[in-house]
């Protein structure tokens, strides 16, 4: 009876080793080459099996998705750096516009204290016309400032969102890496136990 059990175990182990060897030689699926990270993870979830809360995944597929995730993280870091540089530029532009606006308002207040006729480039200009010109300039500066603030706010939102997505992706990758490592370790121990059983140790 024991001989029959050993023979069955040996046949099952042999078939598992052959299937693993044949499985590892298969080329990578197109989903891991074309899809975004979410699609690749979904493909892994749909095409790998779970045994006792551990997921078994081919090494070449794991390495490929690992490489793809790292590439995505690098691209996100570059994008975040670019957005931070853009925010710094917009902050400088906003400061410059604020300074210009303060100077313009100060000049306007000084002008309101002068006579009705103002000399500009050697020509006398009516105070009402001068004030209209200055108000137009101020309105233009305010519009530019409002546009700059809107762009700054939108870019800040994109930066925060990208940073959150990067953090979430990093956490998902860490969880996935830990589960994959534990699965491989368990699979190795299972194979080792089966080999010990086959050898009669």
DSSP for 20-39, please give it: HHHHHTSPPPTHHHHS-HHH
Which helix H or strand E contains 124, and what residues bound it? Answer: strand 123-126
Q: What is the pLDDT of residue 68?
A: 84
Give burial (CB, 10 Å; 0-12/13-18/19+) of 71.
exposed
Q: What is the pLDDT of residue 21?
A: 47
Give burial (CB, 10 Å; 0-12/13-18/19+) of 180.
buried
- Measure the CA–CA gap between 5 and 7, rounded to whole angstroms: 5
Tell me the H-state helices in 35-126. Answer: 37-47, 59-112
Domain ranges, residue 141: 2-199
pTM value is: 0.35
Q: What is the pLDDT of residue 83?
A: 92
Q: What is the pLDDT of residue 22?
A: 45
pLDDT under 70: residue ranges of the chain: 1-25, 111-127, 200-201
Q: What is the pLDDT of residue 141?
A: 93
Quote the number of domains for the chain.
Answer: 1
Chain Cα centroid distance, residue 155: 14
Contact 194, 13 (CB under 8 A): yes
């Amino acid at each position: 009876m024991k001989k029959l059990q050993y023979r069955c175990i040996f046949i099952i182990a042999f078939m598992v080793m052959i299937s693993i060897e044949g499985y590892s030689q298969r080329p990578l699926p197109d989903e891991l080459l074309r899809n975004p990270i979410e699609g690749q993870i979904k493909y892994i979830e749909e095409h790998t099996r779970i045994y006792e809360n551990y997921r078994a995944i081919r090494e070449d597929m794991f390495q490929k998705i690992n490489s793809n995730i790292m590439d995505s993280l690098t691209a996100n870091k570059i994008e975040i750096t670019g957005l931070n540089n853009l925010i710094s530029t917009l902050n400088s532009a906003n400061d410059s516009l604020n300074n210009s606006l303060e100077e313009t308002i100060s000049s306007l207040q000084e002008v309101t204290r002068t006579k009705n006729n103002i000399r500009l480039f050697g020509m006398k200009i009516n105070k009402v016309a001068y004030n209209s010109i200055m108000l137009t300039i101020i309105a233009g500066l305010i519009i530019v400032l409002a546009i700059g603030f809107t762009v700054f706010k939108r870019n800040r939102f994109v930066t925060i969102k990208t940073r959150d997505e990067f953090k979430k992706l990093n956490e998902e990758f860490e969880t996935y890496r830990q589960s994959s490592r534990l699965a491989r370790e368990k699979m190795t121990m299972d194979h080792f136990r089966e080999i010990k059983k086959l050898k009669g140790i």
